[in-house]
Amino acid sequence: MTNAAPTASDAKQKAFERIDALTEELLGVSHAIHEHPELGYEERFAHDLLTTTIASAGLKAERSAYGLETAFTARSGPDSGPSVAILCEYDALPGIGHACGHNVIASAGLGAGLAVACVAADLGGQVIIMGTPAEESGGGKIRLIDAGAFEDVDAAIMLHPAGLELFSMTTLAVSQLRATYHGRPSHAAAAPELGRNALDAAVLGYQAAAALRQHIRPTERIHGIFTIGGQKPNVVPALAQTVWYVRSPDARGLADLKPRLAACLRSGAVAAEVEVALDAVALDYLDVISNPVLERLWGQNAAAVGRRPAQPEPGRSVVGSTDMGNVSAVVPSIHPMISVAPPDVAIHTEAFAEHARGPGGDKAVIDGAKMLAGVAIDYLADASLRKAASEAFVAGG
Ligand SMILES: [Zn+2]
Ligand SMILES: [Zn+2]
């Protein structure tokens, strides 16, 4: 038979050969990003390195995509067919550098994208390497969603390094809220009756929130701190401020909880006769809805490189929040964890940063590139899998 569409296994063989040939370059990128840690929206070194590498591989990289200076995209394959986006993160943490191992995410995503680019046209689908800045804070993926980056994307995949090999991260939806109370200053001894105390309002709001905590779900969390509380005891505080994190296992729970906290914070202002302004400190991160069809493909492709991911369970999980949750609300997605360190080494520690550029991190870059490429190829090659992934997405799972 001539001109037959290549099978997924033919395409994978070609893609894996490409990844093997790129090994030195991918590890060079991983190490270079690790050695130049950059905070969210300041990832200029990583953005330049990744887009230059993409361009030197013969692909067209769109730099500063969707109006974000350090975002990028690179597309291969026909516009008309199905599309899969492979997401790269590359921001670091203040003080402890690449302690979340985003250098591994960027390099594995790059390798997978370049490899699938070699076979995308044959498969009749499109692969998009998408550089998504500011995961640790700033919600780069949320800004990309708002700018339309996922409108022509059928599925989004990425990996995240960890001390465990897992199908998914256990994520919480999180919202950050700031309450600023404006009262009326007065001499606290000479004319207290003329003052309206912003600190009292903040304290009463805090107490109300503390009472609310008794009546929320055991899986939900509310934490608050005082950031402004007055200048001098003999001046009635005219300004006070509290900052809050609200967490719930899912977006619906978060949507229920946020107005209840807001009502508590406003109640302090009512009691103390002051004004209060509530505003969001950051974009809300939603929980990740892990697509079961893409998860299954992840498991099959992991097995092909000798990895055995497990489902998370109590005591064997990675808990956190990520803006990939917001992506998973708009397209079928996965956010699996690939092991780069021993199980007792947690992400966001200096020890984890060492592993992210050590032998474990390097192996995860190459294995991870093959696993992501394998999932992308399976997805583009099989319409029934795409249909099943979409049906599971619509069903909310
Ligand atoms: Zn992190
Ligand atoms: Zn991370």
What is the per-residue pLDDT for 1? 43
Q: What is the number of domains present in the chain? A: 2
- State whether 300 and 186 are in the same domain: no
Ligand 1 mean position, distance from CA 229 (Å): 31
Residue 2 lies inside a defined structural domain of this protein: no
* Rounded distance between C-alpha atoms, residue 119 and residue 8, angstroms: 10
pLDDT truncated to tens, each residue of the chain (397 aa)? 445 567 899 999 999 999 999 999 999 999 999 999 999 999 999 999 999 999 999 999 999 999 999 999 999 999 999 999 999 999 999 999 999 999 999 999 999 999 999 999 999 999 999 999 999 989 999 999 999 999 999 999 999 999 999 999 999 999 999 999 999 999 999 999 999 999 999 999 999 999 999 999 999 999 999 999 999 999 999 999 999 999 999 999 999 999 999 999 999 999 999 999 999 999 999 999 999 999 999 999 999 999 999 999 988 999 889 999 999 999 999 999 999 999 999 999 999 999 999 999 999 999 999 999 999 999 999 999 999 999 999 876 5
Ligand 1 mean position, distance from CA 281 (Å): 18
**Domain end among 242, 261, 280:** 280
- State whether 331 and 388 are in the same domain: yes
- State whether 318 and 268 are in the same domain: no
Which residues are within 8 A (CB) of 159 and not within 5 positions of it... i.e. 6 or more apart? 104, 105, 108, 109, 335, 336, 337, 338, 364, 368, 371, 372
Ligand 1 mean position, distance from CA 370 (Å): 23
CA torsion through residues 179, 184, 187, 191, sign: negative
**Domain end among 263, 280, 297:** 280
Looking at this protein, which amino acid is placed at residue 43? E
> Which residues, chain by chain, have CB under 5 Å from ion ligand 2?
100
Q: How far apart are the first and last CA of the chain?
A: 39
Residue 3 lies inside a defined structural domain of this protein: no
Can you tell me whether residue 355 is helix, strand or coil?
A: helix
What's the CATH number where 259 sits? 3.30.70.360
Ligand 2 mean position, distance from CA 92 (Å): 8
Ligand 2 mean position, distance from CA 319 (Å): 11
Ligand 1 mean position, distance from CA 101 (Å): 8
What is the per-residue pLDDT for 313? 94
Residue 320 lies inside a defined structural domain of this protein: yes
β-partners of residue 166 are 310, 337
- State whether 304 and 367 are in the same domain: yes
Ligand 1 mean position, distance from CA 353 (Å): 11
- State whether 275 and 135 are in the same domain: no
What is the per-residue pLDDT for 76? 97
**Domain end among 280, 304, 331:** 280
* Rounded distance between C-alpha atoms, residue 254 and residue 172, angstroms: 9
- State whether 167 and 200 are in the same domain: no
- State whether 136 and 236 are in the same domain: no
Ligand 1 mean position, distance from CA 379 (Å): 28
- Label residues 1-22 b or e (16+ Cβ within 10 Å = b): eeeeeeebebbbebbbebbeeb
Rg of the chain over all Cα atoms, to the nearest angstrom? 24
Ligand 2 mean position, distance from CA 298 (Å): 19
- State whether 300 and 166 are in the same domain: yes
User: What range defines the domain where residue 293 resides?
Assistant: 8-171+287-394
* Rounded distance between C-alpha atoms, residue 283 and residue 79, angstroms: 31
What is the per-residue pLDDT for 121? 96
- State whether 166 and 80 are in the same domain: yes
Residue 228 lies inside a defined structural domain of this protein: yes
Nearest one of 195, 130, 164, 132 to 372, comparing CA atoms: 130
* Rounded distance between C-alpha atoms, residue 5 and residue 241, angstroms: 62
Ligand 1 mean position, distance from CA 338 (Å): 14
- State whether 116 and 192 are in the same domain: no
What's the CATH number where 28 sits? 3.40.630.10
Ligand with the closest atom to the CA of 90: 2
Ligand 1 mean position, distance from CA 348 (Å): 6
Which residues are within 8 A (CB) of 205 and not within 5 positions of it... i.e. 6 or more apart? 179, 181, 242, 264, 265, 266, 267, 268, 269, 276
Ligand 2 mean position, distance from CA 32 (Å): 17
- State whether 366 and 379 are in the same domain: yes
Ligand 2 mean position, distance from CA 95 (Å): 15
* Rounded distance between C-alpha atoms, residue 312 and residue 164, angstroms: 9
**Tokens read off for 313:** 């369970």
* Rounded distance between C-alpha atoms, residue 228 and residue 179, angstroms: 10
**Tokens read off for 362:** 């390097």
Ligand 1 mean position, distance from CA 125 (Å): 32
Ligand with the closest atom to the CA of 137: 1
**Tokens read off for 245:** 């994190």
Ligand 1 mean position, distance from CA 104 (Å): 12
* Rounded distance between C-alpha atoms, residue 141 and residue 123, angstroms: 27
Ligand 2 mean position, distance from CA 160 (Å): 6
Residue 24 lies inside a defined structural domain of this protein: yes
Looking at this protein, which amino acid is placed at residue 73? T
Ligand 2 mean position, distance from CA 146 (Å): 21
Ligand with the closest atom to the CA of 337: 2
What is the per-residue pLDDT for 394? 87
> Which residues, chain by chain, have CB under 5 Å from ion ligand 1?
100
Cβ neighbourhood burial of 350 (10 Å; 0-12, 13-18, 19+): exposed
What is the Cα 263 distance to its own chain's centre?
Answer: 29
β-partners of residue 61 are 74
Residue 1 lies inside a defined structural domain of this protein: no
Looking at this protein, which amino acid is placed at residue 374? G
Nearest one of 319, 245, 335, 312 to 282, comparing CA atoms: 245
| Count of CB atoms situated within 10 Å of the CB of 151 | 9
Ligand with the closest atom to the CA of 89: 2
Q: Supply the angle between the helices 8-21 and 23-35 in degrees, to the nearest 10.
A: 60
**Tokens read off for 376:** 């992308």
Residue 211 lies inside a defined structural domain of this protein: yes
Ligand with the closest atom to the CA of 160: 2
* Rounded distance between C-alpha atoms, residue 212 and residue 267, angstroms: 12
Angle in degrees, CA 137, 140, 141, rounded to 5:
120
- State whether 217 and 321 are in the same domain: no
Residue 223 lies inside a defined structural domain of this protein: yes
Ligand 1 mean position, distance from CA 31 (Å): 18
Ligand 2 mean position, distance from CA 100 (Å): 5
User: Per this entry, what is the length of the chain?
Assistant: 397
Ligand with the closest atom to the CA of 338: 2
Ligand 2 mean position, distance from CA 91 (Å): 8
What is the per-residue pLDDT for 318? 93
3-state helix vs strand vs coil in the chain, percent to 5: 45, 20, 35
Ligand 2 mean position, distance from CA 24 (Å): 24
